[in-house]
């Protein structure tokens, strides 16, 4: 059985109070903090980089699940490892030629390696990375076009989740985009166990209740 990991997306937090927002999410029951790194090139939005991860790390021991929506992920491995990132998830679309080197680098720096796919990318693209001698440890299926929080969940992405879960029973499969109380059961019954949720958690009057509902759906 794979374990539930509920990861509020800090993209929906008040960035001017990042440390207290992180603390609040952990108090509400979050397992991981999902950090969205956007370079304004791979996606049409610009967020935070290693210096912000480094600042946040001084305030928390939490698992920082970094999702790198960047064109040159290899350039970010060392700075993110030094800053205290826990997981480093890159996009398969930008490293068809050098993913072996990238995965090796990420792991050698003590981070957990993950690979992500945009909605238009076929799931077969990540099979070699999961089956490699030095494999990725998580696959992140985007359930919206990466770039912004608050978009609508794409249920058709569940075919990818089902295909992965059938092939790899113990793989960590993360879903990201539009997850909340009304979409979670579709994702977990397809086989997702790591759940990113931004607007549904931060926008709720009782984030702890939403987090526990998400967790229950994975565990049931």
Active site residue 206: no
Nearest in space to 184 (alpha carbons), one of 207, 157, 218, 150: 218
Does residue 9 interact with ligand DX5 by CB under 6 A? yes
Which residue is catalytic, options 39, 159, 176, 220? 176
Contact partner at residue 11 from ligand DX5, Zn ion, none, CB < 5 to 8 Å by partner kind = ligand DX5
Q: Is 134 annotated as a binding residue?
A: no
Does residue 184 interact with ligand DX5 by CB under 6 A? no
**In the set 176, 186, 194, 202, which binds Zn ion (CB under 5 A)?**
176
* Residue in the block written with tokens 């890159």: 90
Does residue 8 interact with ligand DX5 by CB under 6 A? no
Does residue 21 interact with ligand DX5 by CB under 6 A? no
**In the set 6, 28, 95, 196, which binds ligand DX5 (CB under 6 A)?**
196
Integer Cα distance of 81 and 85 in angstroms: 5
Integer Cα distance of 116 and 174 in angstroms: 9
CB 30 within 8 A of CB 194: no
The residue ranges of DSSP E strands in 9-108, in sequence order, are 32-38, 63-69, 87-91
Active site residue 36: yes
Residue 114: helix, strand or coil by DSSP?
strand
**Binding positions for substrate:** 9, 67, 147-150, 178, 198-199
Tell me the binding residues: 9, 34, 36, 67, 147-150, 176, 178, 198-199
């Amino acid at each position: 059985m794979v374990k539930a990991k509920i990861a509020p997306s800090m993209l929906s937090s008040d960035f001017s109070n990042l440390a207290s927002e992180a603390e609040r999410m952990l108090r509400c029951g979050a397992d991981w903090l999902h950090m969205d790194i956007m370079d304004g090139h791979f996606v049409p939005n610009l967020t935070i980089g290693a210096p912000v991860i480094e600042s946040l790390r001084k305030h928390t021991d939490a698992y920082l699940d970094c999702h790198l929506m960047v064109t040159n992920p290899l350039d970010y491995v060392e700075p993110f490892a030094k800053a205290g990132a826990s997981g480093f998830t890159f996009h398969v679309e930008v490293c068809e030629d050098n993913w072996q080197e990238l995965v090796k680098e990420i792991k050698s720096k003590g981070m957990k390696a993950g690979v992500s796919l945009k909605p238009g990318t076929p799931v077969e693209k990540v099979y070699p990375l999961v089956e490699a001698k030095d494999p990725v440890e998580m696959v992140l299926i985007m359930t919206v076009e990466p770039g912004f929080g608050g978009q609508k969940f794409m249920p058709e992405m569940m075919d990818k989740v089902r295909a992965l879960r059938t092939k790899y029973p113990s793989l960590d499969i993360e879903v990201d985009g539009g997850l909340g109380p009304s979409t979670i059961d579709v994702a977990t019954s397809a086989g997702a166990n790591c759940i990113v949720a931004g607007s549904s958690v931060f926008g709720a009057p009782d984030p702890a209740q939403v987090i526990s509902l998400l967790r229950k759906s994975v565990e049931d």
